[in-house]
Every structure is written in C-alpha cells, then in structure tokens.
Structure 1
Amino acid sequence: MLVDEAAGPIAAAIPLIAGRIPETPAAALGRLRVVADGAEPRRRSAPGPRPAAGSHMRVQPGPDGSPALEALGELPPLLVERLLGALELTVPELDLAGVPDLSGLLGKPLNGGFGIGVTEGTSDAVRGAALLERIRPGAVPLVAALARRLAAHPRVAALLAVDTAITGEREVAAAHGAARLALAVSAAAAVVRRAGVQPPAAGPPAVLGVAIGTAALLLREAPMPPGYAAAVLAKTRAEYVLPLGAGGTAEVRGHRFALLEGDGAPDVDFGDNGLVAVVPGGVVIRTGVESGHVRFTLRVLEEPPPDVATGWEEIVEVSWRAAAGGASVAGASAGGFGPGGPPLRAITPPWPGDYRLRVHARGRDDTVETENYELVVWRAPAAPAVVHARTDRLGHRLRGQPEPVRHEPPEAAYRWLRGSSLEMAATVTVVTGTDVADVLRAFGADPDRPESMRAMNEDLMARRSTDPWVAVLDRDGAVLAVEYNGWQGSTRPVLTRASAGGRAASMYWNVNAVTRLSFAEHGEVLLSEEPFGELDAPPRLTEALAGLDFADYHRDKTMLGLVAAGRFTGHGITAEDLARVEDADIGFRIVPHLPPLYPYRARSGAPLGTVIEELAGLPEPALRDLAWWAAAESARYAGLGEDPDVAASVAARALTADAHLRARRSQLDGGEHPWVWRALHRATNPDPLAAVADGADAARHAAGPHAANLVADFRTRITALAKP
C-alpha cells in the first residue's frame, strides 16, 4: 500500500524536523485545538471525509480553495514567518526517496495563464503555497490527505504521542505541535518534489506554507495529549495570584445569571434571601431584568473584606463548595481591569474546597438603567448565609414581604437620558438673565444664520469634522443650549459671556466618561472641573450641590451634574425640552472663542528648555519685543508677513477685530494657518513671560520645516538679552 511504503521514510524524517522547530511557535500550533474549542469558531472549510483503510486516495480541489490554505491564512503572520525561518534550510536536507510517487493522484498541470493577487508583506510561504495550488491543482489537498492517513499509521502515530514525562503546559503543547508539523513538512516535501513544478511553487517556502496549513488542520482535529489538562491546571495554579479583579457584562436569561464551574444557570427558588441561591458548583443570582445583560465586577480576595460596602440595595453572603475550582461567570463578556487582567472564565481559585461569596446588587427595580452587581469571593469554611442589606422592592417580593416605600434620588429625574440622543456625549448649558440671541453670541454663533440640525450634522459627519454647533430653546426665564458631542458650553470664555446678565451652568460628558461641571454668575466662573469626590466649591454653590455625592460611583455623575445645574439656575432640561429641540431641527454653527491665556508655568519638555528661565528678570518691554518678534517670524515663514490683518496686529501688539475673527475661524476644521494665529494670540498674554514661552511654542509649529532655524534665532536673542 502507498501509505505503508511512505510511513518508513516519513517516520525517519519526523524527529529531525521536530528537533529544529522552536518551542514558542510549536506551542502556539499545539494549542490550536484549545483555541478552536474555547473561542469563537473560525470560518473554515470542512476537512471532508477521510479515505477508508485500504482505499486509494483521490484528491480533487474544492471550488472554494484548499482548507489547508485557508487555515494557513488564518494563522498569525509572525507565527508563519518564525516557522519559515526555522525550517527553510531543513527542507532540502530531507531524504524522502523511499516515499512512492503520488503525482498520479493529482489533476492535470495548468497549461494556461492565471493571476494571483497578494498584498505587500505577504509571506513567501503563503505566496508559494497559493502558487503551487494554482499550477498543480490538487497538490495541497493531497498533502493534507497523506498526512491524515500517515497520522493513523502505527509507525508514525507512535512519534506523534507526547512523552508522559513531559509535564509543563508549554512543553506539552510544543511537543504536540512540533510532531504534527514535522509530519506535515515531510508529507509536503514528498508530494511537492514529484509534482513536476519549479520554484517558487516547489521551493522550501511553498513546501512549508502547505505544511503549516496542513498542520493547522491536523492540530484543530486532533485531541490534546492526555497529560495536557493536568499541565494546564498546574500552570493555572502556579500563576494564580491574589487579589485579582475583573468585570464586564453578564448575559441574563430567565431573570438570572450564574457563577458556576459548569455551564448554564439552573432554575432555582430565591425565596430564602431574594438575591442568590447556592447550587452544586456555584451560585445563581436573581436579576430584575428578564433577559439582556447586566454589569458586574468580580473580586477574589485572600481574606474576607474588612468592611461591608455601602451604596448597594441588596447584599447577601453565602457559602458554596467548589468541586474542582475555576468557576466562571456564565455568559460573561469583556475583559479584566488593567494590563494582563484575567479572563472571565475560570476566574475563581482553581482549587476545590469551601468558598464564601458576597453578592451586591443595585438597580434591580429600575426599568431604565443597567443593573449592577459586585461579586466578592474568598476561601472560608462553610457558614450560614448572612444578609447585610435588603432594601429593593424585588427582594421583598421574592421573600414574600411587603414592598418598602422608597424615595427616588434627585438624579432619577434624568433617567430619560439613557437611550436618548444625548446618552453618549453632549453638553447641556442653562443660562438665565438673557435671551436666545445673546446666548448664541456668547457661544460664538450667529443668531441670524440658522441651519437644519440634521443637514449640518450629516455634513460634518461626511467630512469627519468636529466643528462645533449648538441648538437653543427658550424656556420662559432661561435658555437651554444643547451641544451634541460638543463642549463649548464648558469653556470659560462661553461661561463668562453667557453669565454676564445672570447665571450659567453646564454639564459636559463624553463617551470616555470624561465630564466637566461648571457654574458662572455675572461674568465670573465660580467652578469648572471634573466632578470627583468633594468639590472645592465656593459658598454660593452649597445649595446647588447639597446631597449630591460625586464620590459614590454607583450614582451617575452626568445626572448629578444636571441636577446641580438645574438647582443653580432654577431650570433643568427635560425629555420634552429635548423633543422640542429636535422637532424644531434648528442649529447654529459656532466659531469658537480663543482659549484663555494663563500665566507662565515651567514645564518639562518645553521646546526652549530651561533657557526661558533666564528671561525671568528682564523688563516687560524686552519680553514683549521678543514675543511679538516670534509672532512676526511665524507669519513670515508661513508667507503671511505682508497680510494686512497680521501686519496691523503686530504693529498694534494686539489682535485687531478682523484678525481676532480670523484667529477664531482658524480653529475650525480646515482653518487657515492655525499656528500663526495661535502665535499672534499667545503674544497678547498679559503675563509677558508666558507670552514669550507659549508664543515660541506656537511659532515653531507655524514655521514648519524652518522650525529649527526659528528656534535657533530665538535662542540667540534670548542669550543676548540675558547677558548682564
């Protein structure tokens, strides 16, 4: 038989090849079955039926290409390149003369023209294997068929078995992967050498490309070695370090999710404590939502938590016994916290025994917000369940108790934001003591130039622009300004102008959970900062901030900020207000105000370095001369030296009205010469040292390719001025 004849030479070649395969890429191949079983299934062609023992091998190329080539294309490029580099010189050394000629099983060679499209950087192994399949149809499937048959042959199968003396996870995976890759390489070399093709379709890269793809197929199908599970467990235990934490979302079905060693969440009775039920191998947790997802965090500690957390509506502590350890949050997605965060599968300690679990729940009664849970696990002897908190209505119903009367927190008035068009990112500004037109002017918009919000937004999205715009609504005593994914209402220039006749307050938030809460009165900004913890607020804001705990991460900072803004101005935004804004479909483009200018502050990495400190004792006129020289030089390098607005501003040492407007417009998408205008603007800083330092920074950007010349001239002038 052909397979019997081939088995001897192939078996002789396997140890030589396997010995030259580096451990790291071999282990990556060896884990392919684990990856296929534990991750999302990859799209690949079915391997097809295996030939029966004693039958002739018949190979026909499939209409969609070879499964081995698909498997090769799905591997990480760096893995393929490492294997190519390791084995490219080994292929010519192989003595496979005893393998029978199998070329008669192939289709007819190609006798016409063809084309193959490859991207830049494609591996020679991938390119060569694809070329071989085109020139000699059926060669690649023949290699896979031969390798499969040989893997079952006694002489070869013995070489594929991993030595039981090997116990490390990496070592077992590497031996498993190297043996099957060595089989595939020898099979590929035997077939390709007699396929009647010339390099590059028959060179070592082509042979190895076919072999690596074939090995990937074999390794996805082959069971892991008998000792692999024990090796993985030993590795997991050796690397398991406490404390650890992870978080994400858990899928809910039938009002429950679970922390289990197995799969699924069994149907159980929650009448005992209304939150959690112990089952074999873990626990099941009762949710308010019937199906969907809930947010959770999970912490595994060495010892019991020192205190019982506050801010949760239900807290129940139970014991459960782990049969093997390594329980998972069923249906969980997302990753751990921080670099190297643990996965959500098998996250509890990988040892059997008794464990304690404290389940915290919040939001089970809420039909709008996502529910939140915190699971805290530690090792402890079995003990009776303990209820630390039981305040939500669902828990009372499940326990058969009368529901409590609960007072809604003030931020509940803004739950409508969830699912609204403002949910992800926006700024809401409330202004009193003025009218719509003046609010628009304060923002830098022209009240006489309204546009369709939808059309304006579509235009900006098509250009991928972040140019600002605002919509306004007259609320009988207050003006609401709404920015979708904008932030101008949180800036000091806008707050200063808008509050000139009364008060202004704004809340800004974005998709990255960055927020800013701001208050201004009669042209003075009272507070504008990220609301974390206790705010450093003046007495005038005491009433607006009373009872709003921004340090409580269970409470929504955006909603708390809107409560404070509404209290301060006497007006808050409602869902009906937003509907009126969107029904009107009227918005106004903003020409942003120039940013505030701040006093000089030394900072590391400044373009002029510490030499700027030498100017601290110079008189103000000398510093002003230097700042405006830099501004004029930036304009000259940019070709604007003769521009009337620039020249007039340099002469006046202040931005003229026309120059001021051009400087503002330069900040918009596609604005002209933004760094020149920034240099001119920064030269007007009331602090002369800041005018020099910040103006120099803008000027070097404006100078573009001549930045080095400008900085050199700047340093020369500084040195000359600093001399006694």
Structure 2
Amino acid sequence: MSDVPDLPSDELAAFVAAVIPVLTQWVPVTPARTLGRLGAPDEADLPSPGVQVVRGTADSEPACLTALRALGPLLVERLLGALELVVAGHDWSGAPSLVADLPGLAPGGYAWVATGGHDSEATSAAALLERLHPGLADRTVALATGIAAHPAVTRLLTIPPAVTDEPAIAARHGAAHLALAVAVAGAVVDQAAPPVVVERAAAIVGLGAGAAALLLRDGSMPPAYAAALLAKVRAEYLLPRGMYGSVGVAGNRFGLTEHGVVGQSDFAGNGLVAVTDGGAVIRTGVAQGSVHVELAVLAQAPAEVESGWEEIVEVSWPAAEGRASVIAPDGTSSPRLRRQTPPWPGDYRVRVHARGRDDLDTESERYKLIVWAAPAAAETVHKRTDRLGHRMRGEPEPVRPPRPEHAYRWVRRSPLSVAATVTVVIGATLEQVLRAFGADPNRPEPIDGIRRDLSSPGATETWVTALDTGDAVLVVEDNGYRGSNAAVLCAASVSGRAASMFWNVNAVTRLSFADGGQLLASFEPWGRDEAVPPRVAAALAGLDFAEPGDRTEKGLVAVERFTGGGITTDDVAQIFETGIGFRVPRALSRSARFNSQGNRTDAPPSAPQEAGRPDVR
C-alpha cells in the first residue's frame, strides 16, 4: 500500500464528515446490507449472490480493485446507478492536497487496461484510472482507513442504539462506510484530474466501493450486531432440517461441536463416539481424507432406529451456545454442515450412525447424525457389528464373510461413476450384439467425435462402446441406457443370455435379465417386491438391495452371476483407451422380435430390410 505523507487529518476529516450524510441517503438498502455483512463472522451464514470474499490479491492488481471485482458487476452497477448523479454534481475541491506526491502518466504516454466483458462500468473506469495514475487505488484505501478512526468521522459510522435488527444494522454499517470511502475517492480522483477517457463519476464509485469492501471486510462489526444476528437466526430457525455434505478427517476422527477444534478422544467405551466440551467426536475407519455425512435435526427423538447401519450409538451433550457444526479436526467445514444445530443452549441428544468403517475406503464410509433437544440421559448403544468398534472396545472381532459387491467398487472411481449402463452378453458375437443395440458394426468412429456431434442442440442419436473379452461381449454406455431396453436385451440374448445394470446421477437404477430372446425380468432393484424366475433369483441371492450403499455394485454382481461374465476396470480402461464407439440412429421398438442372427423378424412386408442388420426405423 502506498505510504501516506503527513496530511492535515482534521481538515480531511471535516471534508469527509460533510460529504458522508449527503451520500448515505442515496445508497440503496440491499447493496448496503450486502456490504455491511462483509465483516460478519462466517457463522452468520448470510451469503450474498455474486459476492466473493477475496482474502488474497494478485500481484499485478491493487487490493482495492480485486475487492471491487469480488463484489460482482450487478452490485457495483446498482451502486453506480444510485450515486452517479450526486457524485458527478458534487464539488470536490474543498479537500486538502492528497495525491501531489504520486506519479502521473508521462507526457505523451499511454496506458491500456484489460477488463472482462462482464465488468461493471465503475470497475472498468477505476482500473483504467489506476493504469493512468498508478497508486491512486492504494492511496484511496490508505486515506479511508486512516480517516475512519478520526472522531469527527467515527461518530458518523456509529449505529444508533434505536437500530437493533440485523438487516438494518448491516445496511447502516455498509452505507456509512461506503459513503466515507466514496468521499475520499471523490477528492482523490478530482485532484488526479484524469483525462476525458476516464469517466470520473464511475471511477469515484469504483474506487470507493473497492475501498469500502476492504474496510468492511477487515474491520469490526458494530457492537450490537452479534446479538441482532443471534436474534435473527433464532427467529428464522425451523425444524426439522436435514443436509448432506463431506467433512475432512484427520487422526481417524471428525466432530459435531460448537468449537473450532476436534481434539483427541477416548472411544473405548462404545467404539464410535465420545462426548467432548461443546459436542461429540466421531471415530472413523479412514485415518485421513473426507467422509460423507448426513445431518438431521429433529424436534423430538426419531420414532424408530434405522436399519442399514453397522454401528449406532446415542449420547447426550450440553450445548453452551448451540449452533454446532460438523467439522474436521482443523476446524474446516462444509457450508451445508456449519452451524446447523438449534441456536439455543441446553441439553441435546445425538444418535450417530456409521457403516463402512472396516473398508478403509472414503467412498463407502458413511455417517448419519440425528440431533434433537432432550434431557441428559445415559449412553444408548443400538447396534454394534463392525470390526473396528469391537477393536476399540477391546472385544474379539466378529468374523464377517467378504461382500461380493466390494469387488466392483472401482466403478466409483471410473469414467462410469455418475451414470452408465453395463450390458454383458454370452452366446453372441460382437457384431450381433452391436446390431441388437441398433448400431452398425462396420461403422466405428472415434468416441471424441461422436460426443462432440451429439452435444449439439437437436441431436437425437445415442452411442455405445463394446468389447469382446472372449468369454462375453461387454457393451458400455457412458450416460446411456439402451442396454435396459427390453427389445435390445431380447435381440442380444437370442442365442444365449444377456443382463444389464443401469444407474444415473438421480439414483435411478434398473436391473434387467434376458435368456433365449425372452425378457425374464427388468426392475428397480432396491424397490422390487414381485417374484422373479428362479434363474434371476439365483443371481440375486444374498444381495440386499434394500440396504443403503453399493447398489450399483450389487447389480453388477447379479449381472455377472446370471451371464457368467463380468466387467473389470481393465476392460473399461481398454474400451476408453481404444476410443472407438458406434452411433445408434434411433431407438428400437419395444415390440421388435429378432432371429438368432440379430435380424428383425417382425418387419412389415413393405419395409425393405438390409441383410444382416435390424430395421431401426
């Protein structure tokens, strides 16, 4: 920041104090409130769309301009629209000399400035002025920061005692500091006397808004703000509430606590959770990384104990303030999991659910915390079945047979993790399977080109990739679902068997089986309640789809059992490294019938059909 020479502070303070009331009345309430909250604590949880709190600055740009850009163009444009006329019409000549020591643009020189297409006019003008007259931005911030402490100015920044609600305090706080910074910027820009290429009013508002953002971000909130914020949070707090997120893990633990530190704890009692000052600490299986957590806050105790978890323990803790967060040992937290428990002190109960701790895999390890207000009570253990819990309690570990679905957990870290269909076919050639899907095996294309074409508006084709492993033909659809189509599976299975597993980002799944050209079953596996043929039942034996977790993996196990062939991570790698795909022009009719060569047998007599290729009209 530029050094500020000795200045007549009383004279500058008098000048600024006279301008602040003039400008304050023109500052719109909504952007003033946004500015006023820049210095609010993180737990205020009062985000402002488009505003980023920038803590660092680029070496090539003054902090004032970085802070100005972080406010976003919409907020800055609204401030410019509100203040432009009053700033342009104000007489700025009464201020003492402020910039005489700063270098200006050399005679005959020039400057350029790169601005984003979405920058506010005020941001562009301030950036151009800084290029023409280096040091003005830093000087504006230094002067505004210094003069804010002068008694003549401080009294104008003080919030009247009659203003007690959080929105009003934030708006008054923001408007007063913005007026101060714009007053300083007005005097600075006027004395810099920029050329006509710089729109002066826009530059004044831009420098003032950037300086105000820094003042408000780094300064203290008004004394009454904390109480007003708490009153607002309490008035708006509703139950029940639920949220999901990830939390960092270090030293095999994370916490639900009012404080920002999760210390070491003793888990020998129940093997899962330990009560600590201000909350609870949860013992994880993984030592480092992050785990998925669901947090639910209820008005009363849950009616039932949930199934599908390996460890469930319930404990009480006394909250000194309330608003506990799910946090990592270093105090970091996902915004969705921060300050979510009731904002009142008192006794609370938390039921901690865990599964996957024995897997040492952050993708499969899951937690659910249910919180409600209740008198302090003894610890309750609802379930204790994982090996880690037994070790922590000093008990013999139970013998747990390996879970077959664990062999497919690599899918979560593959290109197919979000949405895909995997189809496995036995008893057919690669060419026959591709034709069953409606693709032409004689027209392979690079996957990148297909993706590029199908991303254009109006594209109606789909595409597949395929691999002959020798034992089976695998068809992989990245974000596709042709393999779940009944007609496709019937066509692919005319000389053998076919099965497919579909999943997508919305947790929709479909598991399908066909044999000898007949569809045996096709259903959403976790919601299945109808009977299935014995061959399908054998493939599903021991796979509990009602249990949360690993549903895609369980479906792939069923596909492998039914067909005798499965897909591996090496298969997927080979498919995408080869980079060859096949277009599918249009969907096949669900009522289509096919012969053993993969040709349709129900085509109308008048419809000519290419030999060896299904009619996909």
Smaller-chain TM-score range? 0.7 to 0.9
- The partner residue of 2:233 within 228, 233, 236 is 236
Residue 125 of structure 2: aligned partner: 128
Residue 715 of structure 1: aligned partner: none
Residue 421 of structure 2: aligned partner: 427
Q: 1:312 to 1:44 in 2, by over 3 A?
A: closer
Residue 510 of structure 2: aligned partner: 516
Q: Does 1:347 align with 2:340?
A: yes
- The partner residue of 2:90 within 91, 94, 98 is 94
Residue 21 of structure 1: aligned partner: 27
Q: 1:404 to 1:157 in 2, by over 3 A?
A: same
Q: Deviations over 1:503-525 (max 9, x none)?
A: 21111234554432111222223
Kindly indicate whether the alpha-carbon contact (under 8 Å) linking 1:168 and 1:231 is maintained by their aligned counterparts in 2: yes
Q: 1:187 to 1:575 in 2, by over 3 A?
A: same
Kindly indicate whether the alpha-carbon contact (under 8 Å) linking 1:494 and 1:593 is maintained by their aligned counterparts in 2: no
Structure 1 letter corresponding to 2:22 = L
Residue 356 of structure 1: aligned partner: 349
Residue aligned with 2:350, SS: strand
Structure 1 CA distance, aligned partners of 2:53 and 2:79? Answer: 24
Structure 1 CA distance, aligned partners of 2:573 and 2:116? Answer: 49
Residue 699 of structure 1: aligned partner: none
Q: 1:187 to 1:472 in 2, by over 3 A?
A: same
Structure 1 CA distance, aligned partners of 2:97 and 2:533? Answer: 93
Q: Deviations over 1:412-443 (max 9, x none)?
A: 44345444565444433222344444334433
Q: 1:219 to 1:560 in 2, by over 3 A?
A: same
Q: Deviations over 1:302-333 (max 9, x none)?
A: 00000111111111000000111111111365
- Identity among equivalent positions (%) equals 50
- The partner residue of 1:656 within 598, 608, 611 is 608
Q: Deviations over 1:125-178 (max 9, x none)?
A: 122212322333333333222212211111111111222332211111111111
- The partner residue of 1:284 within 281, 284, 289 is 281
Quote the offset at 1:473 in angstroms: 1.4
Quote the offset at 1:199 in angstroms: 4.1
Structure 2 CA distance, aligned partners of 1:65 and 1:409? Answer: 57
Quote the offset at 1:448 in angstroms: 6.9
Residue aligned with 2:202, SS: helix
Residue 672 of structure 1: aligned partner: none
Residue 365 of structure 1: aligned partner: 358
Quote the offset at 1:372 in angstroms: 0.6
Structure 1 CA distance, aligned partners of 2:586 and 2:575? Answer: 32
Kindly indicate whether the alpha-carbon contact (under 8 Å) linking 1:296 and 1:375 is maintained by their aligned counterparts in 2: yes
Kindly indicate whether the alpha-carbon contact (under 8 Å) linking 2:466 and 2:474 is maintained by their aligned counterparts in 1: no
Structure 2 CA distance, aligned partners of 1:587 and 1:114? Answer: 49
Structure 2 CA distance, aligned partners of 1:592 and 1:129? Answer: 55
Residue aligned with 2:64, SS: helix
Structure 2 CA distance, aligned partners of 1:395 and 1:6? Answer: 68
Which shows bigger deviation, 364-373 or 464-473?
Answer: 464-473
User: How does 1:32-51 map onto structure 2 within 5 Å?
Assistant: 32-34=38-40, 42=54, 44-45=56-57
Structure 1 CA distance, aligned partners of 2:402 and 2:310? Answer: 13
Structure 2 CA distance, aligned partners of 1:589 and 1:96? Answer: 69
Structure 2 letter corresponding to 1:590 = F
Structure 1 CA distance, aligned partners of 2:572 and 2:506? Answer: 28
Residue 383 of structure 1: aligned partner: 377
Q: Does 1:7 align with 2:13?
A: yes
Kindly indicate whether the alpha-carbon contact (under 8 Å) linking 2:422 and 2:483 is maintained by their aligned counterparts in 1: yes
Q: 1:203 to 1:421 in 2, by over 3 A?
A: closer
Structure 2 CA distance, aligned partners of 1:393 and 1:529? Answer: 34
Extract unaligned runs of 5+ from structure 1.
Answer: 47-62, 336-342, 600-651, 665-680, 682-724
Per the normalisation by structure 2, the TM-score is 0.85
Quote the offset at 1:97 in angstroms: 4.3
Q: 1:173 to 1:654 in 2, by over 3 A?
A: farther
Structure 2 letter corresponding to 1:222 = G
Q: Deviations over 1:310-367 (max 9, x none)?
A: 11111100000011111111136556xxxxxxx3111111111100010011111113
Kindly indicate whether the alpha-carbon contact (under 8 Å) linking 2:104 and 2:132 is maintained by their aligned counterparts in 1: no
- The partner residue of 2:192 within 195, 212, 218 is 195
Residue aligned with 1:354, SS: strand
Residue 165 of structure 1: aligned partner: 162
Structure 2 CA distance, aligned partners of 1:213 and 1:161? Answer: 21
Q: 1:467 to 1:20 in 2, by over 3 A?
A: same
Which one has the largest radius of gyration? 1
Q: 1:248 to 1:36 in 2, by over 3 A?
A: closer
Per the normalisation by structure 1, the TM-score is 0.73
Quote the offset at 1:202 in angstroms: 5.3
Residue 177 of structure 1: aligned partner: 174
Residue 302 of structure 2: aligned partner: 305
Quote the offset at 1:286 in angstroms: 0.5
Q: Does 1:259 align with 2:256?
A: yes
Residue 590 of structure 1: aligned partner: 582
Structure 1 CA distance, aligned partners of 2:160 and 2:326? Answer: 35
Structure 2 letter corresponding to 1:42 = V
Residue 73 of structure 1: aligned partner: 69
RMSD: 3.2
Q: 1:9 to 1:591 in 2, by over 3 A?
A: closer
Kindly indicate whether the alpha-carbon contact (under 8 Å) linking 1:246 and 1:297 is maintained by their aligned counterparts in 2: yes
Kindly indicate whether the alpha-carbon contact (under 8 Å) linking 2:53 and 2:70 is maintained by their aligned counterparts in 1: no
Residue 202 of structure 2: aligned partner: 205
- The partner residue of 2:483 within 452, 472, 489 is 489
Structure 1 CA distance, aligned partners of 2:410 and 2:14? Answer: 74
Kindly indicate whether the alpha-carbon contact (under 8 Å) linking 1:357 and 1:377 is maintained by their aligned counterparts in 2: yes
Structure 2 CA distance, aligned partners of 1:272 and 1:214? Answer: 55
Q: 1:590 to 1:298 in 2, by over 3 A?
A: same
Structure 2 CA distance, aligned partners of 1:580 and 1:662? Answer: 27
Structure 1 letter corresponding to 2:16 = I
Structure 1 letter corresponding to 2:295 = L
Structure 2 letter corresponding to 1:414 = Y
Quote the offset at 1:187 in angstroms: 1.2
Structure 2 CA distance, aligned partners of 1:662 and 1:434? Answer: 15
Structure 2 CA distance, aligned partners of 1:267 and 1:70? Answer: 40
Quote the offset at 1:544 in angstroms: 3.4
Which shows bigger deviation, 513-522 or 36-45?
Answer: 36-45
Structure 2 CA distance, aligned partners of 1:64 and 1:36? Answer: 28
Greater relative contact order (Cα < 8 A, sep 6+): 2
Quote the offset at 1:201 in angstroms: 2.4
Residue 270 of structure 1: aligned partner: 267
Structure 1 letter corresponding to 2:515 = E
Q: Does 1:470 align with 2:486?
A: no
Structure 2 CA distance, aligned partners of 1:120 and 1:263? Answer: 40
